[in-house]
Structure 1
């Protein structure tokens, strides 16, 4: 099926993973060179302002269930995620995959699925829920070099993870924001899935199409760009998100459990 080919292309390009404002120009200068925080502590001032520009962490953390569609040329993916446990489910034509809190599972009785379920089950969730996923535990922050694009400078925060966190703890991320609005503008990321070595090949996604959903601000679409180092070239591909809901009710018990006929793809450990 065509959507399976598109999914394979996704795997090549993407990686799984992993409040109040002060004076505008003071945050980046005052950010510690390296800072390790978790949910219970304060975040770098610049990052707090970015969270605020997207609805605020307190508001985001009042939500329990996220759902969205990703349209494809001949199919539509429905993604459902529990925002507390990070259990998830993706419904495709004739295929369902998900994570039940312990195992990644795949229901594919016709054996048509050609993608990497272990990688893909939560991949688009992380890209879609920027910048909020950068409030997770076990993250290190430091100032990033400004990103220049079309004559405008975008300040940034460099994000890395502690060893052993997620499927690719060597991945690094660069959140760059508009200095006037503090909305997220760019995401740079490295892809190290399946390798123990870090990478210096930073790929770039533009975040410039936002929409309000249940008092939070989420992307309506994101666009990957061609690049040479930190020089960003022309747009390459856009992924859209539709039928988005962010609710304060959790799904019923068992919603994310492995179906009887599904196969375990990868255990939690």
Structure 2
């Protein structure tokens, strides 16, 4: 899990939204490719997603659950654990230590899992370009997909490349691939892969309950490497006060 966490931190350029650098989803679907729009519809539809204000989920961490709360329109957030809270108040990331010291950078950590969790809807954010990419072959099945890139200057690593692949029969998202530059030149070699294979309906929107980073051997996906589970998922049309997402905000 330590190696997985390091890999996730490095790929934070993936969505590079720690300071609101990527504009959020608008109400127009005209700029989305038809097939990608079908993926969004298979997961409940962008209109339903855009009506939601607050997302919350938990990630089991052994003896406790890490609780994530996100304002879906401002992208302010708060992550709560027994030892610390971290978050983003709309202007900057912060950390509130409860016991011991927090040694990570909250600007990398606070919304990291949100962008993996909120697939495929975060792929409708502004500043994204879409192109078809060759299907991903796995288990005797071909999964069509889109290559996602960012406009120059969008996010902290706009040269990164991501691939969203879906089931051709159900249009449900099945895979996320990424090749990150880490601020350098994009290297040759296979992408990293995350499998999306467990879903639940929450307010008529399909949300992942578990995702798995994959082992890649000789350029081929060879099975699960690490899996992250999500619990206590809720979507609400009610907003929390902005003060909730500040360092001194109440969490009651």
The TM-score, its normalising length taken from structure 1, stands at 0.82
SS in 2 for 1:255: helix
CA separation of 1:175 and 1:255: change in aligned 2, threshold 3 A:
same
**Residue number in structure 2 paired with 1:84:** 73
Select the residue among 217, 232, 252 that pairs with 1:228.
Answer: 217
Q: 1:134/1:187 Cα in 2 relative to 1: closer, same or farther (>3 Å)?
A: same
The aligned counterpart of 2:186 is 198
SS in 2 for 1:208: strand
> How far apart are the structure 2 equivalents of 1:92 and 1:175?
31
| RMSD of Structure 2 on Structure 1 (CA) | 1.9
Answer yes or no: is the 8 Å Cα contact 1:139–1:162 preserved in 2: yes
- Cα deviation, 1:190-230, whole Å, max 9, x if unaligned, reads 2334x243344510010011110011001010011101364
Deviations 1:3-22 (A, max 9, x none): xxx5674133352241xxxx
SS of structure 2 residue aligned to 1:254: helix
Unaligned residue ranges in structure 2 (runs of 5+): 16-24
1:42 to 27, 31, 37: 31
> 213, 237, 243: which is aligned to 1:254?
243
The equivalences for 1:87-106 within 5 A come to 87-106=76-95
Structure 1 ranges of 4+ moved more than 6 A = none
Residue of structure 1 in register with 2:22 after alignment: none
What are structure 1's unaligned runs of at least 5 residues?
1-5, 19-37, 261-269
Give the TM-score taking structure 2 as reference length. 0.87
Of 2, 11, 16, 2:6 maps to: 11
State the Cα deviation string for residues 206-258 of structure 1 (Å, max 9, x = none): 00111100110010100111013641112111100000000001101311123
